[in-house]
Amino acid sequence: MDIKDIKSFENYELKKHTTFKIGGCAKKVWFPKTEEEFVYLLSTLKEPIVLGGCSNVLVSSAGVDNDVILTTDLRDFSIEGNIITAQCGVKAPLLSQKAQKHGLSGFEFMIGFPGTVGGIVHMNASAHSQSVSDTCFNAKVFDADSKSVLNLSKTELAFKYRSSILDKKNYILLSAKFELKIDDKEQIQTLMKRNLEFRKTKQPNLTTPNAGSTFKNPPNDSAGRLLELAGAKTLSVGGAKVWSGHANFVVNTGNAVSKDISHIMNKMYNMVKEKYTIELEPEVKFIGIRDKEEEELWNTMLKK
């Protein structure tokens, strides 16, 4: 394989892909169309950053020094009986819809997700009493340390709240297998509609750029509840503000840069820490170049 044959662009603006609508240019962005191309890039490039739906990331407005691999063209999936196999770039809502059409239950919670299979498995996405770990029983991953492809069982994936082994080791998801339950199509559709309606009332629509939940829920509590009681709904920095409908969402009002988001997140973090001595853990991940100021803001939140 010749790397020149894989689709790529230089000085490519990433904000067009992020749900925050924030992000500078990457020196080079790659768009593999097959798993073979993806593995070749992961084996060849030096510390590439892999992005999918870009729904829970804050990409630096100063850009990204590393090569970036976008998985948007890795969209193959298959349904055999009650088993769904999907590549990392498949969008979660599409799988939810396809499962419903086949009378398969377990993906209803994903209908409003902006992410892809790679992201939802990596973070063990969950909502409405359902989670990825309920159905995912196998994952094919690339081990960036050994430059090898591994097949991981459900036990080896080590799913926990908002995390998996992919969060702990240098693994990149290639594809995953899910075992769903056969159920009535109309009941599945009803649950999906209910979930969508809930999201409309509790979360900002993606026409208002945001990255989903800003902080993870601490044990036996809600980040949104703590942030609201701490007074975070009044916060705004530059083009960023805390959403009026739910205190655990930050929205880009149109001209926010990554530093605005970093500052407002740091303020949210400190408000809860000062009032409740609880240190919230960011769910949004920062990617790209940070100056000294941004480095300090994130080091505080990540307790470095």
Rounded to whole angstroms, the Cα distance separating 159 from 55 reads: 20
Pairing of strands 236-237, 240-242: antiparallel
Q: How many CA atoms lie within 13 A of 290 on its CB side?
A: 17
Instruction: Answer whether 204's CB lies under 8 Å from 128's CB.
Output: no
Task: Answer yes or no: 225 catalytic.
Answer: no
Three-state DSSP at 12 gives strand
> 190-224 burial, b if ≥16 CB within 10 A, otherwise e?
ebbeebeeebeeebbeeeebbbbbbbbbeeeeebb
Question: Which residue among 162, 262, 290, 294 is the active-site one?
Answer: 162
Token pair recorded at residue 14? 């990433």
Question: Which residue among 213, 262, 290, 294 is the active-site one?
Answer: 213
Task: Answer yes or no: 283 catalytic.
Answer: yes
Tell me, rounded to whole angstroms, the distance of Cα 97 from its chain centroid.
19
Rounded to whole angstroms, the Cα distance separating 31 from 258 reads: 24
Q: What is the DSSP letter of 109?
A: G
Task: Answer yes or no: 213 catalytic.
Answer: yes
Rounded to whole angstroms, the Cα distance separating 269 from 192 reads: 33
Catalytic residues: 162, 213, 283
